[in-house]
Structure 1
Amino acid sequence: MEIFYRIIKFGLTGFLGMAIDFGATWLFKEKIKINKYVANAIGFSLAVTNNYFINRIWTFQSTNPHLGTEFSKFIFVSLVGLGLNTFIIYLFHQRKDGINFYLAKFFAIVIVFVWNFLANWLFTFR
C-alpha cells in the first residue's frame, strides 16, 4: 500500500512539475521566441529542480545527509528523462505527418513519468 501512496505523491508532484514545465516551455518558445527544443530543456530543468525538493521531503521522506550526491543522482535520472522526453517529442512531432508539438510533449511526459518514478525509487532515494 505504501508504494501506491508514493506513486500518488510522485504523480501530484509531477503535475506541479508539468505545470511549471509547460508554463516555462510556452513562455520561452512563444513569447521569448527561443528554439522549441531549448525551451523544452529550460522548462524541464525548472520542473526537475522543483520536483527534487518536493520528492525528497514529501514523496520519499529522504533523510540522506549527502544532499549533493542524492541531488546528483536525481539530476542524472532527470537528464536521462530529458533525453527520452526530447527524443519522444522529436519522434512524434518532426515527422512529415507529425502531431502537434504540445501533444507530443504530453505523450513524452507520460512515458518519462514511469521512467522517473522507477529510477528514483530504486536508485536515487533507495
Structure 2
Amino acid sequence: MITLLTLAVRFAAVGLLGMVIDFIITWFLKEKIDIEKFVANTIGFIIAVCNNYILNRIWTFNSKNPNVIEQFYHFATVSIIGLLLNTVFLYILHEKFNMKFYSSKFLAILMTFGWNFLANLLYTFGNV
C-alpha cells in the first residue's frame, strides 16, 4: 500500500511539472503574444490542469475508476476552486504587496498546493 507521504511527493512532482508548463505557457502568452497577464495565467493554469489530471490519475493515485469523464469533472472542479484561490493570492501578492508578477505567481501556487492535494485525495480519487 502506498503511503500518504508517497502520494504527497508524487502529487508535488506532478505539480512541479505542471508549474513549469504553467509558467512557460503564461510567460509565452504574456510576453510574446501580449495577452493580458491574468488571462495568460488562466490559460497556463488550464493547460497544466489537463496534464496534471492525466499524470495524477495514472502515476500518483493509480486510479482504476472507469468513469474517467466524471473523475476529470471532479478534478476540474477542484482545480477551478484552486484557480480561484491562486488568482486571489496572485492578485493580493502582486497588486497589494507589489511583489513581482512571477514571484507572486510562484508563491500563489505554493499556497494553493494544500487545497489541491487534500481535495483530490479525498474527493477526486478517494484514496483515504
TM-score range, shorter chain: over 0.9
Partner of 1:21: 22
Identity over aligned pairs, percent: 50
Q: How does 1:70-85 map to 2 (within 5 A)?
A: 70-85=71-86
Partner of 2:113: 113
2:31 alignment counterpart: 30
Q: Distance in 1 between matches of 2:35 and 2:21?
A: 17
Tell me, in whole angstroms, the C-alpha distance in 2 between the residues paired with 1:70 and 1:123. Answer: 9
Render the CA deviation track for 1:6-31: whole Å, top value 9, x for unaligned: 01100110110000000000000000
- C-alpha distance in structure 2 between counterparts of 1:72 and 1:18, whole Å: 21
Aligned length: 125
Give the TM-score taking structure 2 as reference length. Answer: 0.95
CA deviations on 1:41-73 (whole Å, 9 max, x unpaired) are 000000000000000000001011111100000
SS in 2 for 1:94: helix
State the 4+ residue runs in structure 1 displaced beyond 3 angstroms. Answer: none
TM-score under structure 1 length normalisation: 0.97
Q: Which runs of 5+ in 1 are unaligned?
A: none
Counterpart position of 2:122: 122
Give the whole-Å Cα distance in 2 for the aligned partners of 1:84 and 1:33: 24
Q: Which amino acid aligns with 1:19?
A: V
Aligned equivalents of 1:77, 1:43: Cα separation in 2: 16
Q: Which runs of 5+ in 2 are unaligned?
A: none
Deviation at 1:98, TM superposition (A): 1.0
| One-letter amino acid of the counterpart of residue 123, structure 2 | F
| Mapping 1:28-107, distance limit 5 Å | 28-95=29-96, 97-107=97-107
SS in 1 for 2:63: coil
For residue 7 of structure 1, what is the aligned residue in structure 2? 8
Q: Distance in 2 between matches of 1:107 and 1:101?
A: 10
Cα separation, 2, equivalents of 1:5 and 1:63: 18
